[in-house]
Amino acid sequence: MYIEKVLNNNVLLTKNQKGKEVIVMGRGISFNKVVGDPIEEEKIEKVFVLNENEFTAKLTELLNDIPVTYLEVVNEIVTHSNEVLGTALSDNIYLTLTDHIHFAIQRGNNDIFLKNAMLLEIKSFYKKEFEIGMKSLKFIENSLGVKLGEDEASFIALHIVNARMDSKEMKLTMKMTEMVRSILNIVTYHFNTVLDESSINFSRFLRHLQYFSMRVLRKELRGGDEDFLYNQVKTTYANAFRCTLKINEFLENTYQQSLSKDEYVYLTIHIHRVTEKDHLDKIK
């Protein structure tokens, strides 16, 4: 293959053996090169065949409006993600994340910074993806000269999560995240507390809520109606039990499902542990 157009030191245009125009990416692949030079194929990291399907058509259109440097940064992020996660991301992330980062920087240049309402949940649920998001901020700063905050790292993390899943699984994951956030808010406001997210009890509670929310969404809530433990926690952990009643009301109103007595027991015990006074800071 021979270079038809140099876009920057790491990105060029050429044609493949079928005569299709392609974008080729690779570190230093076009450094000190000109049109007509042969391509060092051992440097090729990524190839996009243009105008072959809807995705590449959209990518071609995007690159008409966005400097190719943004695509180069996304390639750096994807390469790092693949190394950390040990799995290949969907090519669609090259389109969605390139567009997102470009828009985020445009907003930042106008002092408009969006807050991610699910920042804390993303940091807890998707630790590896969030760490990749934070590393991505370094890539963006080094290549584009713009500093972005951890809210943007969490948005990048969601793009990575999305690129690892099919759309059905992603929708389920987002609904789980929303449900867990709602339940944590119920606990926070019921006890007028700030939960200690670094505590082992919070980690246990969060894991329980993740599995619990999946069962709710899949309509798999089940469990026995053991009266003895139910009555015991109702009396022993009365305040935590009242909080669980609020959670049950939320589930009935939002998801048309009710807790079994066993679920009352598990949730009440977790809530009691995570809200013990010696683990909390009271909201002033």
Write down the domain spans for the chain. 1-51, 53-164, 168-282
SS (H, E, C) 147-200: CCCHHHHHHHHHHHHHHHCCHHHHHHHHHHHHHHHHHHHHHHHHHCEECCCCCH
Structure tokens at 152: 């943007």
Q: Look up the CATH superfamily of 168-282.
A: PRD domain (1.10.1790.10)
pTM: 0.58
Per-residue pLDDT tens over the stretch 81-127: 999 998 888 878 888 898 899 988 988 887 777 787 678 778 877 88
Does the pLDDT value for residue 55 go beyond 70? Answer: no
pLDDT at 138: 96
Report the largest interatomic distance among the alpha carbons of the chain, rounded to a whole angstrom. 82
* Confidence label for 56 from pLDDT (cuts 50, 70 and 90): low
Q: Which CATH architecture group holds 53-164?
A: Orthogonal Bundle (1.10)
Per-residue pLDDT tens over the stretch 158-201: 889 878 765 566 677 788 888 998 999 999 999 998 888 878 78
Per-residue pLDDT tens over the stretch 195-250: 888 787 887 888 788 878 888 888 877 666 678 888 999 999 999 999 999 999 99
The pLDDT mean for the chain works out to: 84
53-164 and 168-282, same CATH topology? yes
pLDDT at 256: 92
Say if residue 183 is exposed, middle or buried (CB neighbours under 10 Å; 0-12, 13-18, 19+). buried
Q: Give the CATH fold of the 1-51 domain.
A: Transcription Regulation, Sacy; Chain A (2.30.24)
For residue 97, CA distances in Å to 2, 160, 167, 249, 265 come to 29, 9, 16, 38, 43
